[in-house]
Amino acid sequence: MGRPQQCTVLAALAVEADRTVSVDTLVERVWGECPPTRARRTLHSHITRIRRLLERLDTGSGEPAQLSLGFGGYRLEMHSDDIDLHRFRRLVKEAGDRQCTPVEARRLLRDAISLWRGQPLAGLTGAWAERIRDSWSLERLEAVVAWAGVELTIGDPQSVIVELTGLSYDYPLVESIAAMLIRAQHAAGRTAEALDCYATIRSRLVDELGIEPGSELQQLHQAILRGGLDVPRPPEPPAFLATPPTVPVISTPRRYMVTPAQLPFDVRGFTGRHREMRQLSDALVMSRTHNEAGLCVLWGAAGAGKTSLAVHWAHDVAKHFPDGQLYVNLRGFEPSGVVVKPEEATRMFLDAFQVPPQSIPLSLEAQSALYRSCVAGRRMLVVLDNARDVEQVRPLLPGSSGCMVVVTSRRALSSLVAVEGAHPIAVEPLSAEQARTMLSSRLSSSPVAADDEAVDRLIARCAGLPLALALVAARAATYRHLDLRKLADELDQASGLLDNLVSTDATADVHSVLLWAYKSLSPEAARLFRLLGLSPGPDIDEMAVAHVTGANPSEVRMLLNELKDAHLISEHKPNRFSFHELLFAYALDLVRAVDTPQERDAAVRRLLTYYVASARTAAAFLEPHPDAAPDDGTDVRPARITSDREALEWFIAEHAVLLDVVRRADEDGYDALLCGIAQSLMEYFNRQGHWRDQDATQRLALGAARRLDDKNAEGQAHRGIGLAQAWLGHYDEAYTHSKSALDLACEVGSTGDQAQAHLALARVFERQNRHSEALGHDRAALMLAEIAHDRLAHAVSLNNVGWSLAMLEQYESAKEHCSRALTLLQELGNPSGEAATWDSLGYINHQLGNLPEAIECYRQAIRRNRDAGNRYAEADSRHHLGNTMMAMGDVAGAKDSWEQALTILDELEHPDGDAVRKRLSGLENTRAATGRRP
Q: How far apart are CA 63 and CA 54, in angstroms?
A: 11
248 or 603, which is more confident: 603
For 734, the enclosing helix (H) or strand (E) is helix 731-748
Measured CA distances, 698 to 460, 622, 651, 680 (Å): 51, 19, 17, 11
**Residue 240's pLDDT band (boundaries 50, 70, 90)?**
very low
pLDDT at position 627, please?
Answer: 46
Point out which residues pair with 470 in neighbouring strands. Answer: none
SS3 (DSSP) at 632: coil
Q: Which amino acid is at 228?
A: G
Q: What share of the chain is helix, strand, coil (3-state, %, to 5)?
A: 65, 5, 30
Give the pLDDT of residue 2: 54
Residue 450 pLDDT > 80: no
Q: Is the pLDDT of residue 275 over 50?
A: yes
Residue 169 has pLDDT above 90, yes or no: no
Q: Quick one: DSSP state of residue 253?
A: -
What DSSP designation does 207 have? Answer: I
Mean pLDDT for 157-179 is: 80
Mapping DSSP onto H, E and C, the string for 888-925 reads: CCCHHHHHHHHHHHHHHHHHCCCCCHHHHHHHHHCHHH
| Environment class of 739 (CB within 10 Å of its CB; exposed 0-12, middle 13-18, buried 19+) | middle
pLDDT category, 234, cuts 50, 70, 90?
Answer: very low
pLDDT in tens, 628-666: 444 544 567 888 888 777 888 888 888 888 998 998 899
What are the residues facing 423 on neighbouring strands?
A: 296
The CA distances from residue 566 to 574, 845, 895, in Å, are: 18, 67, 61
pLDDT one-digit tens code per residue, 831-853: 778 888 999 999 999 999 899 99
Share of the chain above pLDDT 70, in %: 84
Cα 346 from chain centre: 9
Predicted local confidence at residue 10, as pLDDT? 83
Distance CA 139, CA 238 (A): 8
Write the pLDDT tens digit of every residue in 517-573.
787 788 998 999 899 888 887 788 888 888 888 877 778 888 988 888 777 787 777
φ/ψ region of 638 (left if φ > 0, alpha if ψ in -120 to 50, else beta) reads: beta
Higher pLDDT, 152 or 801: 801
- Which one, of 266, 299, 285, lies nearest residue 384 by Cα? 299
What was the pLDDT predicted at 710? 93
Tens digit of each residue's pLDDT (9 = 90 or more) over 189-207 = 778 778 888 888 888 877 7
Paired with 408 in beta bridges are 298
pLDDT the model gives residue 868: 54
Radius of gyration of the chain (CA): 31
Q: Which has the higher per-residue pLDDT, 514 or 1?
A: 514
Say yes or no to pLDDT of 435 above 50: yes
Q: Tell me how far apart the alpha carbons of residues 414 and 424 are, in angstroms, rounded to a whole number.
A: 8
pLDDT for the residue numbered 500: 36
Of 362, 356, 349, nearest in space to 254 by CA: 356
pLDDT digits (tens, 9 = 90+) for 874-891: 888 999 999 999 888 888
CA distance 286 to 551: 55
Q: What is the pLDDT of residue 855?
A: 92
pLDDT bin (cut points 50, 70, 90) of residue 812 is: very high
Per-residue pLDDT tens for 463-475?
677 777 777 777 7
Q: Say if residue 934's pLDDT is above 80.
A: no
The predicted structure's pLDDT at residue 356: 62
Q: Using DSSP, state whether 31 is helix, strand or coil.
A: helix
Quote the CA–CA distance of 611 and 677 in Å, as a whole number: 8
